[in-house]
């Protein structure tokens, strides 16, 4: 008596006599997956992967080595695209830069803010409710041409240096923290830099991702400290950032750098020392509380400026 023909359960036109050692369904070579004993089908392999708990770092991120630093790539891409936009329309810088309080005259020129404004002039900046500037300024950089913010003769080096730092720091920090925590750290650090600038020098304007980059530098230090690594090289690295902050005071916002550094350190300390049993809720709550504090400081400063 001739044996019945068996075919692959996914490809019924393919004759086969090999079955999955787990579910016993017949599978063709395209559906075979190597197993400790025999072969498994595609569905059994997927089910087995779902049942395996993914390893996590001490900060809660997925422990996936050599993973693509997607968030870092996206952030770099956004900064570069915005900079190209600045080259086409330089007015973007004045419109979206981190400006605490300023005045726009009838001719469109910007002037220093005076208490209560000035007849015929429009108040601009965070003090006038333009809160978006607290973040948009972190995606702008000094243009090679002139603007009311002024520019360095080598303004293009501003974005090149920041993107180089983001490339080197971002990949490491994103791998340790995971994408969601890393993005929260970056945005909060950028916000913290803008808030400190608003508190100390509300009449100044600033652009650049430096505040967020300084936040990543602080995070890198805390991460290595938490993991018990050799801190000598890390300390020298952070010292270089502090020297950069002192030197940069001559031509850019040291307040933004310091604000980003402090915010990044606080966020990463919350990430690093949250109890393992309730790690994610504690980390999320810490970020929300910090955000609330930053918002409250902006509200209080705006109230003080407007009398």
In a domain, 140, yes or no: yes
- Token pair, residue 104, equals 């726009």
Asked if the model's pLDDT at residue 147 lies above 90, the reply is no
Q: Which of 84-88, 152-156, 263-267 has the lowest mean pLDDT?
A: 152-156
Flag whether 63 is in a domain: no
d(CA 146, CA 162): 20
Q: What is the pLDDT of residues 161-190, one digit of tens each?
A: 899 999 999 999 999 999 999 999 999 999
* Token pair of 100 as six digits: 């605490």
Say yes or no: 21 and 143 in one domain. no
pLDDT of residue 105: 57
The per-residue pLDDT for 247 is 79
- pLDDT interval class at 10 (50, 70, 90): confident
CATH at 147: 1.20.1540.10
The strand pairing partners of 103, in sequence order, are 111, 123
Q: Which residue has the higher pLDDT, 108 or 289?
A: 289
Q: CA-to-CA distance for 151 and 181, rounded, in angstroms?
A: 34
* pLDDT at residue number 108: 55
**191 and 118 together in one domain:** yes
Task: Assess whether 218 and 291 both reside in one domain.
Answer: yes
pTM, two decimal places: 0.79
Does 152 share its domain with 22? no
Residue carrying structure tokens 């031509």: 251
Query: What angle is formed at CA 93 by the lines to CA 109 and CA 257, rounded to 5 degrees?
Result: 115
Q: What percent of the chain has pLDDT over 70?
A: 84
Q: What per-residue confidence (pLDDT) applies to 117? A: 54
> Do 179 and 267 reside in the same domain of the chain?
yes
Region 140-147: what's the mean pLDDT? Answer: 70
Establish if 38 belongs to a structural domain. yes
Count the domains in the chain: 2
CB 209 within 8 A of CB 226: no
Same-domain check for residues 43 and 74? no
15 phi, psi to nearest 5 deg? -80, 130
Instruction: Flag whether 65 is in a domain.
Output: no
| Average of per-residue pLDDT across 146-160 | 61
Q: Per the domain annotation, does 62 fall within a domain?
A: no
**Beta strands across the sheet bearing 102-104:** 110-112, 102-104, 122-124
CA–CA separation, 213 and 121 (whole Å):
35
Q: Name the most confidently modeled range: 91-105, 178-192, 219-233.
A: 178-192
Alpha helices of the chain — where are they, by DSSP H?
42-51, 70-88, 91-96, 133-136, 156-177, 179-200, 210-226, 232-248, 254-273, 279-306
The confidence band for 116, taking pLDDT boundaries of 50, 70 and 90, is: low
Are 134 and 249 members of one domain?
yes
Q: Please give the distance of CA 45 from its chain centroid, rounded to a whole number.
A: 34
Of all residues in the chain, what percent carry a pLDDT higher than 90?
A: 44
Phi then psi for residue 4, to 5 deg, are -65, 145
The two tokens of residue 159 are 């974005």
Angle at alpha carbon of residue 286, lines to 284 and 289, rounded to 5°: 110
Task: Give the tokens for residue 192.
Answer: 């913290």
Determine the structural domain holding residue 22 and report its residue range.
Answer: 1-52
Which pLDDT value is given to residue 145?
56
- Position 63 confidence tier, pLDDT thresholds 50, 70, 90: low
In a domain, 57, yes or no: no
Per-residue pLDDT at 166 = 95
* pLDDT confidence of residue 124: 76
**Residue (of 164, 140, 135) closest to 263 by Cα position:** 135
Residue 197 lies in a domain: yes
**Residue 102 — pLDDT band, cuts 50, 70, 90?**
confident
Same domain, 135 and 11: no
Q: Which residues does 63 contact at the CB level (< 8 Å), separation at least 6? A: 54, 55, 56, 57
User: Over 60: is that where the pLDDT of 193 sits?
Assistant: yes
Are residues 105 and 250 both part of a single domain? Answer: yes
């Amino acid at each position: 008596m001739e044996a019945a023909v068996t075919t692959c359960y996914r490809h019924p036109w393919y004759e086969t006599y090999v079955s999955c050692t787990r579910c016993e369904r017949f599978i063709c070579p395209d559906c075979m997956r190597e197993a400790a004993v025999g072969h498994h089908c595609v569905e059994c392999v997927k089910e087995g992967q779902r049942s395996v708990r993914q390893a996590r770092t001490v900060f809660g991120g997925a422990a996936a080595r050599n993973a693509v630093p997607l968030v870092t790539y996206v952030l770099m891409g956004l900064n570069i695209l915005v900079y190209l936009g600045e080259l086409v329309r330089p007015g973007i810088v004045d419109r979206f830069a981190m400006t605490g309080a300023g005045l726009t005259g009838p001719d469109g020129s910007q002037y220093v803010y005076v208490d209560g404004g000035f007849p015929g002039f429009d108040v601009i900046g965070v003090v006038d409710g333009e809160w978006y500037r607290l973040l948009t300024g972190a995606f702008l950089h000094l243009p090679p041409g002139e603007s009311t913010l002024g520019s360095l003769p080598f303004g293009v080096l501003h974005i090149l240096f920041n993107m180089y730092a983001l490339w080197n720091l971002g990949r490491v920090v994103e791998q340790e923290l995971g994408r969601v925590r890393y993005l929260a750290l970056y945005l909060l650090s950028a916000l913290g830099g803008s808030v400190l600038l608003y508190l100390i020098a509300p009449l100044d304007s600033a652009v650049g991702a430096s505040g967020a980059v300084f936040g990543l530098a602080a995070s890198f230090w805390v991460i290595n400290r938490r993991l018990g690594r050799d801190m000598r090289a890390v300390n020298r690295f952070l010292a270089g950032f502090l020297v950069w902050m002192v030197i940069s005071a001559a031509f850019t916002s040291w307040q933004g750098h310091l604000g980003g550094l402090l915010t990044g350190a606080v966020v990463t300390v919350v990430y690093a020392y949250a109890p393992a049993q309730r790690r994610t809720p504690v980390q999320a709550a810490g970020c929300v509380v910090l955000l609330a504090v930053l918002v409250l400081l902006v509200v209080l400063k705006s109230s003080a400026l407007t009398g």
